[in-house]
Amino acid sequence: MAHLETPTVHRLLASPLGGVLDTAWFERLKTRSLRREFALQRARAAADVALGASPREYLRAVGAPPAPHLSGRIESALAAYASRREAALDAADRWHEVLWDPASSVDDRLHAERERRRAEHRRRDVADVFGFLVDDHLVPPVDYAVPAVDAVRSKYHTDLAAPGEVYGVSERLPRVERSDWVPGPGTAEYWLRFPTPSPYVSDNAVARVYEPPDAGDDLPTLVFYGGLGMVNDCAAYWPEEAYLGRALASEGVRVVLPDAPWHGRREPLGRFSGESYLARAPESMFQLYATAAVEAGCFVDWAHAEGSTVALGGVSLGGIVAMHVAGRCSSWPASARPDSVVPVAATGDVDAVLVEGDLSPLLDLDDVLRGAGWYPHLHELGPLLNPPESCGLDPDRVFPVFGRRDTLVPPHTLTATLDAWGVPAENRTAWDTGHFGTLLRSIRGDLAPVVERALAVDVAGQTTPTDAVTP
């Protein structure tokens, strides 16, 4: 049977070549490239709301200064992007018609998925279209609209006193819909969706699921959130799909990879994937954590209904979500609580990361927060930004992974919380890497044993007896 393929780039990164990249120079190169990557996506997101507008109006939507000498090039770029956007929207419409139609054939679904993914990747790969604007330093990495300190204090004064309400999961959970499946490389892949119960967004929570083709009724399940700015299966290559979804499914583990709020196919019009998380910081940050945490509880509940032991994990931004769930889930319905958590390259002290980490100056966030008066008041939002001081799970069921040389999310901002929670030293995996080196190690397969330990499974995917796993 024909099936989807994992891109060659993954096989290269998972090979010994990937180990060559796990160096300090690559870490610096990748970190410095973030500003340009974000600016390119800012240029694309502005085009989504400025097609048909004049070059001057487009630059205003981007947040860039006037550039009359570039008018001709901007008009050509907008025309080129318009055709890509139209093709992607058409492919997405066909995909929705086919994948959620119980009468569709496997071949029809496979074709629709290939076309959607190809068109979405081309729409977002815009260095050849808008690169000239970014290289001339006209495009900012983020279009900020940071709220004033007093406004946020007033709006959230009640929530700051009772953050558990913001992160609470109701006994009445939304009904989860499941699409039909497409064949992957040794996997069956399908999608889940449900209306988000969060008050901060108004769309559907969505996730892609990977299972062995002959999945039984009691697969152990990993629910795993990606990092900031990821577009997930709107890109040709999605690392988490390859090193977790398809790799672990072949070992008998179901893997659920959700789109975080404002990411991937949940990208708001006029914003690129993840921009909304930064644009209204710090308010938008805890809004995303709370939304994703509540949605994670819904995905965990769905997996438990399938008869599964469930681990919740995430990398970077997704790891922060996992930390919030670990800290706050004790008051949730039992079915919504994960049996273990695997936070990767995460933090328990978000306000410290905003001050000390390299991402804030790289994206001008430090200047914007300072200009809005947030320094030194970020700590006042600690009850909403940060996981609580005690863990809502048995600390023995927390399996953190971090890089000792991480400068984007300094490791001490995680280990202090792990110490306060009483997470055993033997549960902690520290690699001699930076932030992106942690991802490279994961791509090369080093995260899989941690997940297997969290799920209490052997390499064949069979659950092994342990008193530490919640039934």
| Residues 274 and 219 occupy one common structural domain | yes
Q: Three-state SS for 451?
A: helix
Do residue 169 and residue 102 come from a single domain? no
Phi then psi for 188, rounded to 5 degrees? -110, 130
Q: How many domains does the chain contain in total?
A: 2
Domain boundary among 135, 161, 188: 135
Same domain, 283 and 363: yes
Grade residue 217 by pLDDT with cuts at 50, 70 and 90.
confident
Based on the fold, state whether residues 208 and 311 are members of the same structural domain.
yes
CA distances from 115 to 43, 122, 185, 206, 219 (A): 24, 11, 17, 19, 30
Helix axes 24-50, 435-443, angle to 10 degrees: 90
Instruction: Output the pLDDT for position 307.
Output: 83
Query: Is there a single domain that holds both residue 175 and residue 117?
Result: no
Residues 86 and 187 in one domain: no
Q: How far is CA 120 from the centre of its chain?
A: 17
DSSP string, 341-376: EEEES--S-HHHHHHHSSHHHHTTHHHHHHHTT-TT
Which tens digit of pLDDT belongs to each residue from 346-401?
Answer: 999 999 999 999 999 999 999 999 999 999 999 999 999 999 999 999 999 999 99
Q: Which CATH number do you get for residue 253?
A: 3.40.50.1820
Q: Is the pLDDT of residue 216 over 80?
A: no
Per-residue pLDDT tens for 183-210?
Answer: 999 999 999 999 999 999 999 999 999 9
* Domain contains 109: yes
Tell me how far apart the alpha carbons of residues 451 and 436 are, in angstroms, rounded to a whole number: 19
Q: Is residue 7 over pLDDT 50?
A: yes
Beta bridge partners, 204, equal 195
Same domain, 118 and 168: no
Residue 412 falls within a domain, yes or no?
yes
Give the pLDDT band (50/70/90) at residue 29.
very high
Dihedral sign (CA 126, 129, 135, 139): negative
Confirm whether 460 is domain-assigned: no
Residues 91, 164, single domain; the answer is: no
Say if residues 22 and 437 touch (Cβ distance below 8 Å). yes
Helix (H, G, I), strand (E, B) or coil at 186: coil
Do 325 and 300 belong to one domain?
yes
pLDDT of 156: 97
Answer whether residue 94 shows pLDDT above 70.
Answer: yes
Query: How many other C-beta atoms lie within 10 A of the C-beta of residue 176?
Result: 16
C-alpha to C-alpha distances, 386 to 118, 141, 379, nearest whole angstrom: 38, 25, 10
Mean pLDDT of all residues in the chain? 94
Same domain, 180 and 82: no
| One domain, residues 192 and 214 | yes
CA dihedral 219, 225, 230, 231 (to 10 degrees): 50
Assign 1 a pLDDT band (cuts: 50, 70, 90). Answer: confident
Domain range spanning residue 202? 149-455
Model pTM greater than 0.75?
yes
Burial class of 280 by CB neighbour count within 10 A (0 to 12, 13 to 18, 19+)? middle
Same domain, 130 and 211: no
